[in-house]
Amino acid sequence: MEREELVALTTRLVEIPSHADETAAGDFIESWLTSETDATVTRDDVGNVIARRAGSNSDDTAGSLALVGHHDVVAPAAEQVDSDGQYVTEERDGRLFGRGTADMKGSLAVAMGAFRDADVDAGSDVRIFASFVGEEQGGIGARTAIADGFCPDRAIITEGSAGYSTDGVVDVAVAHKGRRASTLIASGTAGHASRPAAADNAVYRACDAIDVLRDLAVPETTVLGNRLAGSLTVTEIEGGSAWNVIPERCTVTVDERTVPGERVDFAATESIAGIEWRVDQDLPPMACGDPAFADRVLAAASASQPDEPELVAKPHATDAGWLATAGTDCVVCGAAEPGEAHTATESVSIDVLERCYEIYRRAYESPVARR
């Protein structure tokens, strides 16, 4: 894939609005794969686009490698949309600017090119391209695909891994944290503030639960030489209805960053009278379970750029967590740099996109062992 085509394909994909409805972006990806490749292309009921190519010597013993991304984005800033509601892109200073350039239509576009251009007979295995919907809503597309049987042996998730070790270098992430969002619900008995002994103050109970949270041990682990430490943070507290009314209800929102393995034990908070713990969202962490696969992708990354990449860890969740939980060995490798996604000035380096294309193509052309 030449640079001009890479820029044109990324620009076309980025300009398709996909924050409220991913249908048009999925239509474009499906049409491009159908016309540009000999792959079997399918579209499921939620809008995931999945394409498969097999080497001419593939058989039941062949392994499978997937490049996995998503074509939904978060809502754009006002300056990222024109008067007709279309996303605006701009190329300057060697970068493409616009909603979704970094997260993650840039990497998605070059993955499409690598899927088309790779010599699949070089590996004689099954090569898969998948673009999911609903990643920004907690992995809706990934979970649907997994429930329908999507479980490749290995997967490269094309979320950002550039600039972790050195600016401009595309690294390979072998682990990332998950996120569990919880609510502590404190229930008490309402009363008049002039007679506090006659009521049970839900805010006080919530504060007692917070004190317990602050003393809980947070797990940490190491994955292929990378240390990940979890965290636990109270981010919201809400209770009360008036200055002279003792509240009967108070809620506490807790953001927990999880690591592969152990979780924080919230049960201690429920030992306090009137406290209920509710899990609102649980995005799983990821740890690559196949060091040889991580090394193969790292070798592809090393051969595709002048500086030496490293195995790193990411601080936030991706669809790799869902796939790893289902049994796929995953790494994360993509063009986005820390701090670019979801911003009003979101952009991606075209040089880094070219490096990702080479990484993906080389990875596709390496043999894949079955699990």
Are 239 and 193 contacting, i.e. CB atoms less than 8 angstroms apart? no
Q: What does the pLDDT look like over 19-50, one tens digit per residue? A: 999 999 999 999 999 999 999 999 999 999 99
* 293 inside domain: yes
* 93 inside domain: yes
What's the pLDDT score for residue 368? 78
Q: Are residues 198 and 265 in the same domain?
A: yes
d(CA 318, CA 46): 19
Average pLDDT of the residues in 210-216: 94
What's the pLDDT score for residue 122? 55
Pairing assessment for the beta strands 286-287 and 95-97 based on DSSP bridges: unpaired
Q: Are residues 146 and 194 in the same domain?
A: no
Q: Check pLDDT > 60 for residue 57.
A: no
Residue 18 lies in domain: 3-177+285-364
Average pLDDT of the residues in 180-191: 97
Q: Check pLDDT > 90 for residue 370.
A: no
- What pTM was estimated for this model as a whole? 0.93
Q: Are residues 119 and 169 in the same domain?
A: yes
Flag the least confident range among 73-87, 119-133, 303-317: 119-133
Q: Are residues 197 and 293 in the same domain?
A: no
Q: Are residues 126 and 43 in the same domain?
A: yes
CATH number at residue 205: 3.30.70.360
Pairing assessment for the beta strands 90-92 and 154-157 based on DSSP bridges: unpaired
Q: What does the pLDDT look like over 333-361, one tens digit per residue? A: 999 999 999 999 999 999 999 999 999 99
What's the pLDDT score for residue 101? 98
What's the pLDDT score for residue 366? 85
Using a pLDDT cut of 70, give the percent of the chain over it: 97
Q: Check pLDDT > 80 for residue 56.
A: no
* 38 inside domain: yes
Q: Are residues 225 and 342 in the same domain?
A: no
d(CA 210, CA 235): 11
| Number of domains the chain contains | 2
Structure token pair of residue 229 = 């430490």
* 369 inside domain: no
* 371 inside domain: no
Q: Check pLDDT > 90 for residue 184.
A: yes
Using a pLDDT cut of 90, give the percent of the chain over it: 90
* 58 inside domain: yes
Among 250, 266, 283, give the residue marking a domain's end. 283
Among 258, 283, 308, give the residue marking a domain's end. 283
What's the pLDDT score for residue 152? 96
- Cross-strand pairs, 87: 81
Q: Are residues 234 and 319 in the same domain?
A: no
Q: Are residues 319 and 195 in the same domain?
A: no
Among 283, 299, 329, give the residue marking a domain's end. 283
* 370 inside domain: no
Q: Are residues 46 and 67 in the same domain?
A: yes
Q: Check pLDDT > 80 for residue 161.
A: yes
Q: Are residues 155 and 207 in the same domain?
A: no
Q: Are residues 116 and 158 in the same domain?
A: yes
What's the pLDDT score for residue 267? 86
Are 54 and 127 contacting, i.e. CB atoms less than 8 angstroms apart? yes
* Cis-peptide into 104, omega within 30 deg: yes
Burial grade of 130 (CB within 10 A; 0-12, 13-18, 19 or more): buried
CATH number at residue 305: 3.40.630.10
* 163 inside domain: yes
Residue 180 Cα to chain centre, angstroms: 14
pLDDT band at 58 (very low <50, low <70, confident <90, very high): low
Q: Check pLDDT > 70 for residue 146.
A: yes
Structure token pair of residue 218 = 């947070």
- Average pLDDT in the chain: 95
Q: Are residues 199 and 290 in the same domain?
A: no
Average pLDDT of the residues in 189-203: 96
Q: What does the pLDDT look like over 106-120, one tens digit per residue? A: 999 999 999 999 987
Q: What does the pLDDT look like over 230-262, one tens digit per residue? A: 999 999 999 999 999 999 999 999 999 999 998
Q: Check pLDDT > 80 for residue 188.
A: yes
